Amino acid sequence: MKASRIRFLFALLCIIAFCSAVQATNLLITVQDNLDNTSIPHATVFLDGTNVGLTNNAGQFLLQSGQGDLNLLITMSGYDDWAGTVSTNATTLSVTMNRRTLYLNVSLFDSNTLAPVSGANLFLTSANSSQTAVTDPTGAASFGVTSFTLYSLNMTAPNYQPRSDTIEVDATNQNVQYWLLSVNQYSFIVRDQNTLAPVSGATISVNSVLLGTTDSHGILTAPVSRNVPVTVAVTKTGYQTVNQLIAINTNQAVDSITLTPVPVNGFVFVYDSQNQSISGADISVNGTVVATTSAYGQAALQNLVPGSYAIVVSKAGYTPVNQLIDISTGASEFPVVLSLATVSQTFYVQDSDQKNIANATVLLNGAFAGTTDPHGQLDTQLTYNTSYNITVTDDGYLPQMVQQEIPLGNTTTPLTITLQKNTGWGYVTLIGIGILIVLFLYALIKLARHRNRHHAVKRNEI
């Protein structure tokens, strides 16, 4: 009995050990590229639809297999998915993933006109393949390519310089654009030597033949002979003429030319509204004072490039003037009229008891300026160097007039105007009538007393 128990326990231990051995079986998965057999790190491994992990930098993943066959799916960006069933007894699995087929879209444009270049021949090569294509009317062509592959692209088109490039395709479709240089077209870029700003309207001639004028960007594109010496002349009013003797080779597409400005002078004359010269007025260009008028109201603007300038003429006590002037090649004169500026003035109107008078009317040189607010205050604007007769009126008060003139550039202080109450002739008349009535009553009383006294005397006599 005891021996049978020992045999039973031994058998049970063997079964448990066998089961443990089965559960402990591991599957080593190695993932490689189908073209160069390189390892693929970070590929995702799915077991029965469940994400169980990523391959390491060596492209490997250790999977505990367990019991039963394994349904595996391996995915990686840029590769076709791999799927398969692996026996439970397998300990290693080598997976080769195919690079995904993608599209490389190529577009070609003229570097001068930016128009599509159709009919261009494209030759695309890699370590394992080569393809050709011709651009359509939109300048486009497409190639079927594989992900993570290095390609060489050669481009040729009639009347254009050949071009080549290296393209590394990643995990997605790729779009590339190229600009081809015309064999005959050549671009001149003209700039100001001092500011490097584009010079528009510059005239360009080659071998004394006019090609045209530069656009708003300072660029002129025109056909020019290659590999032969040519004389290029660039002229623009207000600039020194540039002459060049050059030979343009097939690889050149652009010639950058700088023009030196010829300085010109302008004169600004500043007057007031009475046509009197104003001295000490500042002339500003782009926020910087460049000149100040003399005693005769004149200021010289020197060493300027011919063109238009926005100037600001200003002086304390006058309203600044913004004016656009155009300076040509010769000396130019520009009159500017400044108007006197205004200054804020506050009036306070009160009575002889220093109480505020609301709704009082204020006249400036006879013109209505406004009425005072509940605080007896009125704010208005007065012009410098102008004499004002200030008249204040209100019902029940005598009109009050004061004079004021604010010197040029001075500040103001509040002006208080006091009104005296107006008693009026009607009030005086009433007082007079009252006095007459009192006198009349007094006379009647005296007359009555006199009669009574006289009557009493007569009685006594009787």
Q: Is 386 helix (H, G, I), strand (E, B) or coil?
A: coil
Can you give the pTM of this predicted structure? 0.42
Instruction: Evaluate whether 259 touches 213 at the Cβ level (below 8 Å).
Output: no
Tokens of 73: 């799916």
Confidence at residue 433, expressed as pLDDT on a 0 to 100 scale: 79
Confidence at residue 21, expressed as pLDDT on a 0 to 100 scale: 47
Tokens of 322: 């913004």
Confidence at residue 181, expressed as pLDDT on a 0 to 100 scale: 80
Q: For 185-259, which CATH superfamily applies?
A: Carboxypeptidase-like, regulatory domain (2.60.40.1120)
Torsion of CA 237, 238, 244, 248, to 10 degrees: -70
CATH code, 2-97? 2.60.40.1120
Residues 6+ apart with CB under 8 A from 361: 368, 371, 392, 393, 394
Q: Is 428 helix (H, G, I), strand (E, B) or coil?
A: helix
Domain 264-340 bears CATH identifier 2.60.40.1120: yes
Confidence at residue 218, expressed as pLDDT on a 0 to 100 scale: 92
Q: CA dist 320 to 48, 269, 325, 445, Å?
A: 84, 14, 16, 82
CA–CA separation, 154 and 139 (whole Å): 15
Instruction: Evaluate whether 207 touches 137 at the Cβ level (below 8 Å).
Output: no
CATH code, 101-180? 2.60.40.10
Architecture per CATH, domain 342-419, reads as Sandwich (2.60)
Residues 6+ apart with CB under 8 A from 322: 310, 311, 312
Instruction: Evaluate whether 282 touches 315 at the Cβ level (below 8 Å).
Output: yes
Query: 303: alpha, beta or left, given left = phi > 0 and alpha = psi -120 to 50?
Result: left
* Tens digit of each residue's pLDDT (9 = 90 or more) over 199-220: 999 999 999 999 899 999 999 9
Strand partners, 168: 150
For residue 101, give the DSSP letter.
E
Q: Measuring CA to CA, which residue among 158, 145, 149 is closest to residue 106?
A: 145
Residues 6+ apart with CB under 8 A from 190: 198, 199, 202, 204, 214, 218, 219, 220, 234, 236, 257, 258, 259
E strand or H helix at 434: helix 425-461
CA–CA separation, 63 and 88 (whole Å): 11
Q: Which residues of the chain have pLDDT under 70?
A: 1-24, 65-67, 329-331, 423-432, 450-462
SS (H, E, C) 277-346: ECCCCEEEECCEEEEECCCCCEEEEEEECCEEEEEEEECCCEECEEEEEEECCCCEEEEEECEECEEEEE
